[in-house]
Structure 1
Amino acid sequence: MSDTQSVFSYDLAGVVVGETAISDVQGDSGLLSYRGIDINDLIGVPFLHVAWLVVFGEWPDEQEKSRLKSFMCRHARLTHSEQDLLGQVPRDLHPMLMLQGMIPLLQMPEEDTLGKGLDAEQGLFIAAKISGLIAAHHRLGQNKVILHPIAGKLRHENFLTMFHGKAPSPDQVRMLDAAQILQMEHSFNAGTFAGRVCASTLAPIQSAISASIGTLFGRLHGGADQAALEMAMEIGSPDKADAYVRECLANKVKIMGMGHREYRTVDPRAKILKPMAVELCQDEDSRNLLATLIAVEEACQREFGERGKEIWANVEFYKGAVFHSLGIPSHYFTAMFAMARVYGYIAHFLEFRQENRLIRPRAAYVGKPPVAADQSAA
């Protein structure tokens, strides 16, 4: 390898590829903040107010709060043409593939009604539609009628009602608000960076969000929550966790949801979500799944501790237990992730467009050396 090719990173680990003022991930100290506000101080704040903060970098005033709530409720309602389009999607198609395909097909608004620019208008329009699409896809898969949001209801109260056909409890709404705030934004994660690459070509915001969602679908990214809960279902009970972990480590099988690429200590989001999961998971099935997950984490910590290493569960590990207790099927977990992370995608799109540069890295060529055309033909 030549000197000009000697320094590179397959996974860009530790490589700074840009600046952002949206969120700060301090992996060594286990801290996460949105726009300079610690994640712990955002739990309990109305979800849409946090979304506005993430997207625009400031709290909404009273008029903006009212306009945003009305806007998101209005656009979460699928039009007849959108329902017809969704009706052509196979009922058993994974919700993430449904979202990735449907978003570029939506008819984008062409007027700025929120006063924040057309890109922001279209991004928040997509965010509103995602909740309606997820709920409607689930209802169609059950051969049930599509339900619509009710004006005046909270964002996640509407969503859970549209999804299940019955109103949730205040505790369920509070828990979903918290889980979604925790996964709203996380700096240059794979999905966000994929969207920035797409945006750098001057592609429209629906293309960038679709690219981000396609990236989020991977098991090594957003799909870890589904994989972690299905792992707990496969294990069956807490007493089998030790044997499962030892077998995985012996066979070098990754235990989904354990450890995090950025955090060298406890994931600050998991610290918040784990006790919430304990509080919410009260039915027998949910309690058993949560106890199994806790047993897996403890077994991992013992096994890694014997090797002189530390490992902790990340937010994906316990988020699945929360979603399960809310009656969300496991194959919808990552779509729920997308429903929250889309606000981070919008924020990064708007931030990047302020000083757009085409992202075009170099590659180190390691193939055959070039030869003259007449020599290659000889």
Structure 2
Amino acid sequence: MSNTESVYSSDLAGVVVGETAISDVQGEAGVLSYRGIDINDLVDASFLHVAWLVVFGEWPTGREQSAIKSFMCRHATLTDREQDLLKQVNRELHPMLMLQGMVPLLELPTEATLGRGLDAEQGLCIAAKISSLIAAHYRLGQNKSILEPTPGKLRHENFLTMFHGRAPSREQVRMLDAAQILQMEHSFNAGTFAGRVCASTLAPIQSSISASIGTLFGQLHGGADQAALEMAMAIGSPDKADAYVKDCLANKVKIMGMGHREYRTVDPRAKILKPMAVELCQDEESKNLLATLVAVEEACQREFGAKGKEIWANVEFYKGAVFHSLGIPTHYFTAMFAQARVYGYIAHFLEFRPQNKLIRPRALYNGTPPQSDKSAA
């Protein structure tokens, strides 16, 4: 096939590059499902049970529920070597760069114990350790000691305890569970696709996850949550939102967290997360930030509506308000995203590997035409 006959799309928009049974994003309808189950029916389920569903395509049995809880808690403990490596990392390094660098250095199982294959267990071990890496990196930056998970506690109860050094409320754990379930998987997003490209070379799962994390860091992908809340902080109050939006649109400045590449209507995850944010954001600072975000969304809708267009906030827009209320600093927001999305990365690695093909697209050359030796002379 010649270059002129090839399908060309610089951003792969509309180009089908593979098949998946993991999640279905129906952008026109505003519907998201994991393994055929609508996200609305999953958001109140056990976090680890949904993770098992995403990774393996079925609900865990009673024995598997106990096994995965024990496995994740056991592997969440960082080894002495891993702690020593982390202590050498610059305390000011962004958590996403820390994760991208640390993931390939983690000590992983060499034998399978869950009966799901070594790749799966190594991936789940990485997922377990990512939470501990985030908490430990934060505590080291605060000149505090690294804390270990407590057996028997819920996954996010352990994380928030290791992060803050105090036990969270039941409501805080419930909110974090829901927020993380909502961002666990989203089909062929940029981070997932980067991981599939890496996996296609037969690189190991830790390399694939590291590639995905590096891709997630960008503001046009996972970094939008940090950018959106920092935008609200910079605006200061709801009454200033309208002028801010008009100024951004006049100067063609992107408003982070508004609109989504896939959805042509309300992001179903934002529809769930927005009222949760209202429920959780009760202190004055959080209320003001949330009110400012709402005012920005409303101002955007007025401005776009005047031009006959619709725009809605995506999940990143209100997620930051939830994390802020949980005491998570803004520069850790995207690492929290990675903490959840890693289960999607694992699922795609496992789905892709058995039918692996090297991903090698063509490029349309637009440089200087080749010259023969005779013409060059």
- Class of the TM-score when normalised by the shorter of the 2 chains: over 0.9
2:211 counterpart residue number: 211
2:248 counterpart residue number: 248
Is 1:60 matched with 2:71?
Answer: no
Cα shift readout 1:27-50 (whole Å, capped 9, x = no counterpart): 000000000000000011000000
2:105 counterpart residue number: 105
1:150 counterpart residue number: 150
In the TM superposition, residue 3 of structure 1 has moved relative to its aligned partner by 5.8
* Alpha-carbon distance in 2 for matches of 1:308, 1:325: 35
1:118 counterpart residue number: 118
2:260 counterpart residue number: 260
Unaligned 5+ runs, structure 2? none
1:69 counterpart residue number: 69
Residue type at the aligned position of 1:230: E
Is 1:225 matched with 2:225?
Answer: yes
Kept after mapping to 2: 8 A contact 1:191/1:216: yes
Residue type at the aligned position of 1:121: E
SS in structure 2 of the partner of residue 24 of structure 1: strand
Q: Normalized against structure 1, the TM-score is what?
A: 0.98
Kept after mapping to 2: 8 A contact 1:5/1:364: no
Residue type at the aligned position of 1:104: P
Question: Where in structure 2 are the equivalents of 1:286-325 lying within 5 Å?
Answer: 286-325=286-325
* Alpha-carbon distance in 1 for matches of 2:182, 2:374: 61
Kept after mapping to 2: 8 A contact 1:238/1:291: yes
Question: Where in structure 2 are the equivalents of 1:1-378 lying within 5 Å?
Answer: 4=4, 7-376=7-376, 378=377
Cα shift readout 1:78-98 (whole Å, capped 9, x = no counterpart): 111110000000000000000
Kept after mapping to 1: 8 A contact 2:217/2:334: yes
Kept after mapping to 1: 8 A contact 2:3/2:364: no
Residue type at the aligned position of 1:123: G
In the TM superposition, residue 372 of structure 1 has moved relative to its aligned partner by 1.5
Cα shift readout 1:115-135 (whole Å, capped 9, x = no counterpart): 100000100000000000000
Kept after mapping to 1: 8 A contact 2:259/2:311: yes
Deviation above 2 Å: which 4+ runs of structure 1?
2-7, 373-376
Residue type at the aligned position of 2:285: D
Residue type at the aligned position of 1:353: R
In the TM superposition, residue 5 of structure 1 has moved relative to its aligned partner by 5.6
Unaligned 5+ runs, structure 1? none
State the superposition RMSD in angstroms.
0.9
SS in structure 1 of the partner of residue 362 of structure 2: coil
SS in structure 1 of the partner of residue 355 of structure 2: coil
> What's the % identity of the aligned pairs?
83
Q: Normalized against structure 2, the TM-score is what?
A: 0.99
